[in-house]
């Protein structure tokens, strides 16, 4: 079944196919209230979650990625000079602000899970993908450290961000160090395939930085097109997820065609992932996301719900446009009341921005899954990649 959604003169056909086998995970992969109210409340939920077996399998994949990559990740971070090693350990949740061992939330571990599956898709053992999993995770966290500082985010994963605890200089230095470590982890393998993997990682990193630059520039513009927003999010999120799901295969000796097709899956999965993130950035529960209420609105982000609402036309669109134009000129934006942010969120929803973004998440999910049809891989691995795609579009954080 398909529905057609129109924003101004642009029409997109959007799949409403349900997803299966999904659940949000806690710190160590335990299931926590599956489902995503940010999507479901639009009236177009992601579908019926799969049974307990599918959920358990997805959680096991994420836990496997975390378990196999973390020791190598820790060893890489231990190479950093003091105090960068300690600052990085705090960022990853391994220690608390006082330096005591901690069992913090290290994130969803989607990228490591994809890298290990990528190796298996090429017929290699999952362990072959570990250096790729670590390298991608290092680049991802490099971007988080810098993004938190640039965006002024004070909370990540329910804790104060690095720049707030250790200062902006350490956030910049540690981010730079993680980026350098990512390339080192791959290149020290000393193989031709490691060189191929590094080229893919550096290309993805450049695109990620391009996306962040676009994101920042859009905050100062009154209008951004839906296409511009999708391009930015494809760079900022899609590129690294695409790399994650090809890098293990490359390390396992896969040819470029196979790696490119896996990247296609990962790129569209990244767009689905970011669409859900955009919903959570406005309507997500702070207890689940670890960020403030209306966090993206506070930062004036031109995320998909916002740009789709501004492109839709109608009274809610026009009022939203007037408010956002005035916000851009305000010197008192940070002192806005919760009610003012709630009003903007309500206008975005009334203009159709929330519904359009939920539909787009499912559309990108469907494109990602179809890309797997062109890759010759074990059926078990294919099913696991589909399960992880389902997880991405039905989550609460």
**Dist CA 352 CA 4 (whole Å):** 13
Q: Is residue 79 part of a domain?
A: yes
pTM, full prediction: 0.84
Q: Is residue 258 part of a domain?
A: yes
Count of domains observed in the chain:
1
What pLDDT, on a 0 to 100 scale, did the predictor assign at position 51? 47
Residues 21-30 pLDDT 10s: 333 333 223 2
Q: Is residue 23 part of a domain?
A: no
**Dist CA 183 CA 172 (whole Å):** 18
What pLDDT, on a 0 to 100 scale, did the predictor assign at position 55? 60
Cα within 13 Å of Cα(240), Cβ side:
30
Burial class (CB in 10 A: 0-12, 13-18, 19+), 350: middle
**Dist CA 377 CA 339 (whole Å):** 51
Residues 113-170 pLDDT 10s: 999 999 999 999 999 999 999 999 999 999 999 999 998 888 888 899 999 999 999 9
Q: Is residue 28 part of a domain?
A: no
Q: Is residue 15 part of a domain?
A: no
Q: Is residue 267 part of a domain?
A: yes
208 within 8 A of 162, measured Cβ to Cβ: no
Cβ burial 261-278 (10 Å sphere, 16+ → b, else e): bbbbbbbbbbbbbbbbbb
What pLDDT, on a 0 to 100 scale, did the predictor assign at position 337? 84
Cis bond before residue 325 (omega within 30° of 0): no
What CATH number should be reported for the domain holding residue 164?
1.10.600.10
3-state helix, strand, coil in the chain (%, to 5): 65, 5, 30
Q: Is residue 264 part of a domain?
A: yes
Q: Is residue 160 part of a domain?
A: yes
Q: For residue 14, give the H/E element and its range.
A: strand 10-15
Question: Nearest CA to 122 among 272, 295, 247?
Answer: 247
Question: Nearest CA to 159 among 36, 70, 281, 27?
Answer: 27
Residues of the domain holding 140 = 50-275+379-393
Query: Can you give the pLDDT of all 397 residues of the chain as single tens digits?
Result: 333 333 333 333 333 333 333 333 332 232 323 344 444 554 433 333 444 555 658 999 999 999 999 999 999 999 999 999 999 999 999 999 999 999 876 778 999 999 999 999 999 999 999 999 999 999 999 999 999 999 888 888 889 999 999 999 999 999 999 999 999 999 999 999 999 999 999 999 999 999 999 999 988 787 899 999 999 999 999 999 999 999 999 999 999 999 999 999 999 999 999 999 999 999 988 877 666 778 889 888 899 999 999 999 999 999 999 998 887 777 666 678 889 999 999 999 999 999 999 999 999 999 999 999 999 999 999 999 999 999 988 877 6
């Amino acid at each position: 079944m398909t529905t057609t959604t129109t924003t101004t003169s642009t029409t997109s056909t959007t799949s409403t196919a349900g997803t299966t086998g999904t659940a949000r995970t806690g710190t160590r992969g335990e299931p926590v209230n599956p489902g995503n109210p940010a999507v479901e409340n639009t009236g177009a939920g992601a579908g019926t979650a799969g049974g307990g077996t599918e959920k358990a399998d997805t959680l096991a994949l994420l836990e496997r990625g975390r378990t196999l990559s973390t020791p190598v990740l820790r060893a890489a971070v231990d190479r950093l000079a003091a105090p960068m090693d300690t600052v990085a350990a705090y960022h990853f949740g391994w220690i608390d602000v006082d330096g005591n061992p901690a069992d913090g939330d290290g994130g969803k571990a989607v990228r490591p899970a994809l890298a290990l599956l990528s190796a298996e898709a090429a017929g290699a053992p999952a362990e072959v993908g570990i250096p790729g999993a670590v390298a991608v995770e290092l680049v991802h966290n490099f971007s988080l450290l810098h993004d938190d500082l640039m965006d002024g985010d004070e909370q990540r994963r329910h804790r104060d961000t690095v720049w707030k605890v250790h200062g902006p200089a350490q956030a910049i230095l540690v981010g730079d160090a993680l980026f350098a470590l990512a390339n080192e982890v791959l290149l020290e393998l000393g193989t031709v395939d490691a060189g191929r993997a590094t080229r893919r990682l550096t290309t993805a990193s450049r695109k990620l930085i391009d996306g962040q630059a676009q994101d920042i520039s859009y905050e100062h513009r009154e209008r951004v097109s839906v296409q511009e927003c999708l391009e930015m999010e494809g760079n900022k999120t899609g590129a690294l997820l695409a790399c994650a799901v090809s890098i293990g295969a490359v390390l396992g000796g896969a040819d470029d065609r196979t790696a490119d097709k896996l990247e296609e899956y990962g790129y569209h999965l990244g767009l689905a992932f970011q669409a859900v993130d955009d919903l959570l950035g406005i309507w997500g529960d702070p207890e689940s996301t670890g960020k403030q209420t209306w966090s993206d609105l506070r930062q004036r982000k031109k995320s998909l719900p916002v740009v789709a609402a501004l492109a839709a036309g109608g009274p809610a669109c026009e009022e939203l446009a007037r408010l956002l134009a005035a916000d851009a000129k305000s010197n008192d934006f940070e002192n806005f009341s919760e009610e003012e942010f709630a009003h903007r969120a309500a206008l975005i929803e009334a203009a159709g921005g929330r519904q359009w973004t939920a539909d787009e998440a499912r559309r990108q999910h469907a494109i990602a899954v179809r890309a797997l049809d062109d890759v010759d891989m074990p059926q078990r691995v294919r099913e696991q990649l589909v399960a992880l795609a389902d997880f991405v579009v039905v989550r609460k954080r």
